[in-house]
Structure 1
Amino acid sequence: MLALVTGTGALPSVVAARQATPPLICALEGHQPDGLEVELWFRLETIGTLLHRLVERGVTDVCFCGAIQRPGFNPMKLDTRTMPLVPTLAKAVKDGEDAALRAILGLFEKRGMVVHGAHALAPDLLPPQGVLTQTQVRDDTDAQVLSAEQVSVEQGRADEGQSCVVRDGQVIAREDARGTDAMLRGLLDRPVMPMPAANDDPFGAAMDFVGDILDDAADWLSGPVAEARAKPAGGIFFKAPKPRQDHRIDLPTIGPDTARAVIDARLDGMVIASGGVMVLEREEVVRLLDDAGLFLWVR
């Protein structure tokens, strides 16, 4: 029997739909997957009980899929089946996100379950290699990708995000814990400074405010990275797995929302790692990019 341990988004329902027998749906509390009815809810503090229930239900295979925000941890909510696992989990969390994920996989494997990647259960999620859009890559894309790949390696070593944006050979945005969409939105956002209270010297307060704005503008417009970021358009979105990442869990995913965000950011196109990034609603992603004159290169 297959169990899907899910987060939010459309990926869990896509994987479930590809199975001949409906899988058991388990979800982290607060992470409702799109279009699926959850049978078992759990918390990190009760993962021991989840494991026990899966064994009781005869689960032999498990797949982790869907987006998860880093959960909080309340020691007061630990149950008796999870308490013996705390030292293992605590050490893994201390060693970083990837180590924590591997430790969780190990808990399921120790109970005889085989862990599968979402792409193994739904192979069509991995697109073929090549340019999938009618829009072709720009002449400078190879150089941009080389810069992006270097950043991807650095981010992986630091246990950080899986995507970045490169313009004119300069990295102008890096994914952090807030995710890909937040990174792309950040390219459009400019900080708005509130006018300070005038108090007894309204003229002086106003001049201080203008001075702060000019200082920020100077910082924004100085240096090659700032100059590249200040341009209104151009560049590539790049996404790839972290080096040495376990592809059975946390494999990067893009979909129509990512394509729309890249279009809104006025980039030239998207480059994703072949065999390492899943694409939801591929036809819609390609249509959106073609309509906007952007490319999708599976490299």
Structure 2
Amino acid sequence: MTLALIAGRGDLPALVAAGAQTPPLVCGYEGITISGLEADLTFRLETLGALLLELGNRGITQVCFAGALERPALDPSKFDAETAPLVPLFMEALKSGDDGALRVLLELFEKTGFEVVGAHEIVPDLLAKGGVYGSHWPDALMREDAAVAATHIFEMSPQDKGQACVAAKGHVIAMEDARGTDAMLSEVAGAASGILFKGPKAGQTRKIDLPTVGPETLQAVHDAGLRGVVVDAGDVLVLHPRRCEELADALGLVFWARTGE
């Protein structure tokens, strides 16, 4: 065993574990239930130094981050001796946006000698493939909304807000923030002509936190009254793609992975 899986919420950790050549060492954040997996180790940000030492002692050479993790609040009373020297890095990271904090975490693992690999490198079939999932195709309005949404995500990248937005009739009407995609969708219920667009921010590392969609995303989009989901092929993970195709057809949604834009 040479791979450690830093597992968060959702189905992605189990899918990555199933796609790995050998079973990974599963590391779960304290208090988080990992779907479909049992944690071999649990940790807190305040004990990350001890985790790094333990991974090295176990012969781990590669680390993969998979699944959602909320930004934790630090409890100074829980820092252990191995993690205390990292406190300045943590404080700087927590002042950054989500992408900035992830970069600090990524660099910390790499400087400690671990190779950080993206979930898509272990399970490449999860990357969105160009074309439509299902039988419903985008019309001209949806293509225009997708272009507007993609431009908005790109232009908003320096603000490090989110990886998703809703566009309708040529305008962005909602942008994802720290509360997540579901909270954004709950605020646009009834925008029947709109779409959900997901894509990475400009300059975002592909090793951690690639945008992800799955059956739950499609259901939430339908519940919000939107027409479909659009992603950029090769830049977004699609969980349970076959199930997504079937659900898109059942719900009458367009699920389109753009290519060449």
Distance 2:84 2:255 in 1: 47
Aligned residue-pair number:
257
Q: CA deviation at 1:168?
A: 1.0
Flag as ranges the 4+ runs of structure 1 deviating above 6 A: none
Distance 1:232 1:95 in 2: 33
Residue 159 (structure 2) aligns with: 158
Which amino acid in structure 1 is aligned with residue 32 of structure 2? H
Task: State whether structure 2 residue 169 is matched by structure 1 residue 177.
Answer: no
Checking the alignment, whether the CA contact within 8 Å between 2:133 and 2:248 is kept in structure 1 is no
Checking the alignment, whether the CA contact within 8 Å between 1:155 and 1:162 is kept in structure 2 is no
2:161 alignment partner, SS class: coil
Residue 251 (structure 1) aligns with: 210
Distance 1:268 1:60 in 2: 44
Q: CA deviation at 1:20?
A: 2.5
Encode CA deviations 1:196-215: one digit per residue, 9 max, x unaligned.
Answer: xxxxxxxxxxxxxxxxxxxx
Distance 1:19 1:126 in 2: 15
Residue 236 (structure 1) aligns with: 195
Q: Tell me, which stretches of 5 or more residues in structure 2 are unaligned?
A: none
Checking the alignment, whether the CA contact within 8 Å between 1:26 and 1:38 is kept in structure 2 is yes
Checking the alignment, whether the CA contact within 8 Å between 2:168 and 2:191 is kept in structure 1 is no
Residue 112 (structure 1) aligns with: 113
Checking the alignment, whether the CA contact within 8 Å between 2:16 and 2:123 is kept in structure 1 is yes
Q: CA deviation at 1:42?
A: 0.6
Which amino acid in structure 2 is aligned with residue 9 of structure 1? G
Q: Tell me, which stretches of 5 or more residues in structure 1 are unaligned?
A: 189-230
1:73 alignment partner, SS class: coil
Larger Rg: 1
Residues 148 and 232 of structure 1: is their aligned pair in 2 closer, same or farther, counting only changes over 3 Å? closer
Distance 2:242 2:73 in 1: 37
Which amino acid in structure 1 is aligned with residue 235 of structure 2? G
Q: CA deviation at 1:232?
A: 5.0
Task: State whether structure 2 residue 78 is matched by structure 1 residue 77.
Answer: yes
Distance 1:238 1:232 in 2: 14
- What root-mean-square deviation, in Å, do the aligned CA atoms of Structure 1 and Structure 2 show? 1.3
Checking the alignment, whether the CA contact within 8 Å between 1:263 and 1:289 is kept in structure 2 is no
Residues 92 and 15 of structure 1: is their aligned pair in 2 closer, same or farther, counting only changes over 3 Å? same
Distance 1:180 1:97 in 2: 14
Checking the alignment, whether the CA contact within 8 Å between 2:17 and 2:23 is kept in structure 1 is yes
Residue 94 (structure 2) aligns with: 93
Q: Identical aligned pairs, as a percentage?
A: 49
